[in-house]
Each structure stands twice: as structure tokens, then as C-alpha cells.
Amino acid sequence: MTSTTTSTTTPTITPARRRVFILITIALPFIALAVVEIALRLFGFGGYPPFIRSVGTLPQGEQLCIVEPAASKPYFFANPTRPGYAEQSSFIMPKPKDTLRIFLIGESAAKGYPQPRNLAMSEFLQTMLGDVLPQKRVEVINLGTTAVASFPLVYQVQDALRYQPDWLVFYVGNNEFFGAYGTASINAAGTMPLWALKLMRAARGLALVQAVESVVRAGADENRTLMEQMIGQTFIACDSPLREAAARNLQANLGDMLDQVKAAGVAALVCTTASNESGLAPLGQDDVSNLSGASQQEFNELLRQAAAGCCMQSAQVVELLGKAALLAPRSALTQFMLANAQANAGDLVAARKAFLLARDLDTMPWRPISVTEQAIRDTAVAHGVLLCDIAFKFRNMSARGATDWELLDDHVHPSLQGQVQAARAMAQDVALAIAHTNGLANTAANATTNATANATAPTPIPAQSGASITSLNDPSNWNTYAQRLGSNPFDTYRVNHTLRTLFGIGFMKNNNKQAFDRYESACKNFESTLSPSMLEAAREWQTSKPHAGGMRPLTGMEARVLLRENKTEQALALYQIAQTQVPNYTSWKLEYIYFTLACQERLAQQQFKDSTALVNAQGASAAAPPSTQTNINSAPVNFLTESQLQQAADGIAEGNFLLRQGFSESGFTERYVGRLHQLRGEWSQAISYLLAARPRMAAEDLVACDQALFMSYIKTGNTSAARQLVNEGIEKSGRFAPVYQQLRSQQ
């Protein structure tokens, strides 16, 4: 018998193959993540959009560049439904000859909030420098972005330096606690070191992270204001490490930005930021944590006596509050009351000290505090750049020793006067530095420009710099600049309503109800002067949601009401202002160009009719305008001047540029290009644009578009198309059918 033995051999894996297998196993998850990352980027997730981008080539060959309003959105990862934004503005590259290009860097205060864009500090700065430097074409491009801390601005400066700036002006430091990447914000990393913030920014730039967060945050409450959404920590004690971290971050980030500017060979002006110190009571919960038992009772009694001290001498009230402040040295409200008492007693030096201490003790520091303010000064000095100490200048302009409502609208946003005065301070320093560079100022004058915060008087601009020197050196004529740039009662109401809403927020209203009452009263008083139709337009404006980078101007909405009521001159004035309140190269701009010219055309027509009636009454043609003297009964071909016709042509060119670049989602660009062609008497050219606009129009907008299209059909003799349009409108437009019936009667 024979036995057979079967042996089984196991394949041997070589060490090299084993290593490859292990590497593949480890790499597979990363490969999968990379595939997902690439796929998500195809759907628009991932990365950070540029703060400035080129949108296309203009007919003359230059590149049109715009400030991208929503570029900061990825920094608002914790509240993506309500991010901060910048104002859209545009400029061309390469920079034109003899252009002085300035970028203004900062947060919402630099942006000009709550003023409209034509009354922001950047516009005043541009106007003032244009006055004193008439040989230059001055551009001030505002990059101010709502609700960001200084960290995101580092990357904004990187972008700005690619576009041939001559100066960067920094008005930063308001949002180091509650702005995006602030130390106490929901969009924050607390006291993380800066290298960790950069690492976190890189991680949040991944498409996978952004996609997941878009799902997680999809249910965010859009009804809460941006201020409410940004708060991550509501109580920040005066000795909290978050305060030093805020100052440290600001100093490091501002220093980083100044290093970039210096490396690019660009000039810089650094400004301290102003806040409402003597008008605004502390916003946070008062810190009296050290009081208990008998000391609490004594403290309350001192406050009661001080509050009831209407018959006391001011010095007695100061004494009572001084004792209370000693008992509760962390109480911001007590310091604020003490400061007011000292101001009432005429001791402005002590009042200023107490007002600033009250601001610093505020447990909800929406205003910059002393350590962040000093960080700005120290950074400017350390980097050898010009310092414009606006916070100090504003205090010296204020009657109570510290900055008040006259210069601030709320906690950190300058009033209309404050916008002008901040711009004036900036313009003085920039103009003087340029004058010195050009050999127009002596060394002593330049030394004054570099003065520290102890300087009290502005340095006069050398007369050689240009015209209007007196206006720039004189701070008392701020209203002249405001009127020149279009201040008006409707925008005053716009600001008052915005602030009424702001001070209606719970934590703002708690200790500052008088501010809410003040703006509420101002709004109601103005509303009582409006006609029902104009009040309705104001209500509509209040409920309209802002677009990224701007809100529809109230001036334009009220102008349309006035135009419907045949108050053409008043409508024209508001439309001209509205043009300055919207970005160039937008359908908004085309709309206001059209209505401005339409008002001017209507006024010219009325003047022609009046002069014709006068001639007929007098039986003499000598009184008729030159354009009508050949035949008094025949109307001129066009009532617009050559300059106005050129404005229409320029608007058409802007509109066609937008359409070539694909900016036609709403149809309004096509609509107003068509209307501008009609103003020029180009009725046939208008038809294709109006037809392209119709499918995207609805309700009143569709009716208005059809009225314009009907006019073009009639003017070009296409009565069958006009009849078809009218019949369709009568059949399908519902409540608007009478409008189409009226058109049919005009055929």
C-alpha cells in the first residue's frame, strides 16, 4: 500500500509588495477625499474668491476690475446666511496716467455705514484730495467690509496691492472682538495664535468643509441681525485674556499688512478708529461681581442719592458717584455716570478719563478699547508710517471731553459730520505728504504730519497744492461738503431708520433706550411730512432686502413717485443723487441714468411748450428757442442736449459690456439699454433689447417694458406687432388690462 503526502505552499509576499500594499491602503482614503474635493469644487465650493477681480475688457482695451462684495463670505462660516460684505465699485487697469489711486481698508465704519455710498468718508476723501491736487485724477476705492476683524483684511491687502495703488489708508480696529475671526465672535478661534488662525483659514477653504458646513448651517436664523449673529461670548470681563488677545491680533495683522505695503513700495496712512464714548452708555451686563452684603447696599444707596440729586451741586453728585466707583471698580455704568457728572461740573479732563474707562470696562466691547487703540498707534510707529489719530482728534472736537453723538451715529460708525471730519483728517495728511514728496513743503511741516497723538491742531495744507485750501483746513464747513455730495432729507431718514432698527436690538436698547427713542422720533417726524404715496415708497424700501454690496436707494424710489405725480424737477434732483449711490456697470446705474435723462427730456419738452405758447400769444417768433425758430409748429427731433445724448450713449455702452459678460439675469440691463436707445431716437435699435427683457419681467415691470416696446413698434411703423402686443396684454395681464386698452386707443 502506497501513501501519498500532499503539501500546500502559501505564496510569499515580498517586503517591497507589502510596502506598496500598505501605502495603497493608507492612500485610498486620501484619494477618495481628493476626488470628492475636486468634484465639489466643480460645483462652486472651496477656496476664497478674490476681493478684487477683472470682469472683462472694455472697448478701449483696458480691463474693468470690480470690488467683489461677497468675497468675504467664506470668513462667515458660522453664519453663512448673513455674511458681511463690501460695496461694489470699479476701476480700470492699467492705471490711467496722472491717477492717484488709494485703497481704503477697514470694516463697516470705513465702508461708511449707515450713510449711503455717496456720503461715505471715501467719497469725501476723494473729493477733498481732488480739490487740493487738481493735477491728479483721484480715485479712492473703498474696500471697507462689514463685520470682519483684522485677520481677513490681511488677504484683502494682498489683493489690493496687485492693482497699482499709490496709497493704502487703514481705518481698522473696530471688530477685534465680534468680527469674523475676532476673539469673541461666533466666527472665531478665541485666543488661538495667529499661525493657528492661518491653518484654520486654510482648512475652511477646503470644498469638503464648506459643503458640510453649508448643510449644517442651512437652518440658520435669518431674522436675527448680523450683530446678533456675530456674538460668540456675551460677557467679557475687564481682565479677560480675550482683551489682550484682541490687541495682540490687531497689532500682528496690521503689522503684516504694513509689511506687505512696504515691500510693494506703496505709501500708507494708519488711522485710529473713533467710537461714541460720552453719548453711548456701556452695552454689556454691568460687572458688580465684587459686591456683596453691606457693600452692595451702600453702593445702591450712593447711586440712589446721585440719581435723585437734582437739587445738589454738581460737585456733590461727583463725590457720591466717586465713592460708588471705588466700591465697584469694575462697574462700567458707574464710571459712565461719574463721567457725565464730571462733564456737567466742567471738569472735562476727569470726564474724558472716566468716559474712556467706562468704555474699557464694558463687558460687551463693541467699541475699540484702549489696548486695541494703542496697538494701532504702536504699530504705525514701529513700521514708520504716517499716523492719523482720528480717535484723539474727535475727542478734541467734542464738547464733553470725549466723542459724542455729533460725530458718531451709534457705537463706532461716524455720523455725516463724522464722515466729513474723518476724511478731512486723512486728506490733510495725505496731501501734506504728497506735497513734501514733491518738494512743496518744508521739513518742519512734514514733521508735524508725523506728530503723535498729542497734536491738537491740524496742519494747514501748503497753498501750492491746489485750490480750495481753505475748505480743507476749516473743520467748521463740513456741511458744505455734505451738500456738495448730495445730502438730502430722504437719506437722513434712511440713516435714522437704520439706526432705529439697530438700537431696537435688545442689548443695544437695554442701556441706551434714549438712542432708540431719538431715532424713532426722528423717523416719525419725517414720515408725518410725507404724502401717502411717498410714505408707501418709504415702507416698501424698509422691507426690501439688500443685495450683496448695496441696498436700493430710497432716493430713487421716492423719485419715481414724484415723477408719477409730475413733480419732475424734484424727481430729477433725487435721480441725480441716486446715480451716485449705486455702482457703475450695474442695471441700477442704467436705470437711474435713464430716469435722469427722461426727467431732463420732460422738462425740456415743457419749456418748449411754454415758449411755443408764449410765441403764439405774442404773435412773434423771436421769443422762441433757436431750435424751434424755423417752424414753430414742428417739434424738435430730440429735446436732449448733445451732452445728455452722449450720457445715454455711454450708458448703452456700459449695458452692452454687461451683456457681453453675461450680467443679464434680471432682464433690467436689456430693458434700460432699450430705453436709452429710445431717448436717443433710436427706436428700431431698442426693439431687440426690450424683447430680450420681456421674458424676465413681471407685473408692473412687464407692463412698463411693453409700453416702451409698443412705442418702438409705432415709431418704426410696425403696427401689426404693436396690435399683437396690446391684444396679448389685454388678454393675459389681468389687473393691468386697462393699461393695454389705453395703448390700443393710441394706435
Beta bridge partners of 322: none
> Other C-beta atoms within 10 Å of 12: how many?
6
pLDDT value, residue 187? 79
Distance of CA 584 to the CA centre of its chain: 15
Q: Cβ distance 417 to 406 under 8 Å?
A: yes
CB-based contacts of 698, cutoff 8 Å, min separation 6: none
Provide the pairing of β-strand 90-93 with 63-67. antiparallel
- Please tell me what DSSP assigns to residue 87: P
Q: Estimate the crossing angle of helix 293-307 against helix 314-327, to 10 degrees.
A: 160
Set of cell numbers at residue 162: 496687485
Helix (H) or strand (E) holding 29: helix 15-42
CB-based contacts of 327, cutoff 8 Å, min separation 6: 291, 295, 298, 299, 302
Beta bridge partners of 698: none
pLDDT value, residue 340? 96
CB-based contacts of 401, cutoff 8 Å, min separation 6: 278, 339, 343, 348, 349, 351, 352, 355, 395
CA–CA distances in Å: residue 630 to residues 427, 625, 627: 54, 10, 8
d(CA 714, CA 702): 18
d(CA 152, CA 48): 11
pLDDT value, residue 636? 46
Q: Cβ distance 590 to 575 under 8 Å?
A: no
d(CA 283, CA 683): 60
d(CA 103, CA 34): 38
CA–CA distances in Å: residue 397 to residues 391, 393, 525: 10, 6, 29
End-to-end CA, the chain: 120
Residue type, 434: I
d(CA 501, CA 497): 6
d(CA 509, CA 611): 58
CA–CA distances in Å: residue 5 to residues 2, 125, 274, 580, 596: 10, 100, 96, 99, 105
pTM assigned to the model: 0.90
pLDDT value, residue 223? 67
pLDDT value, residue 521? 98
Residues with pLDDT less than 70, the chain = 1-11, 189-190, 217-223, 310-311, 440-471, 547-549, 618-637
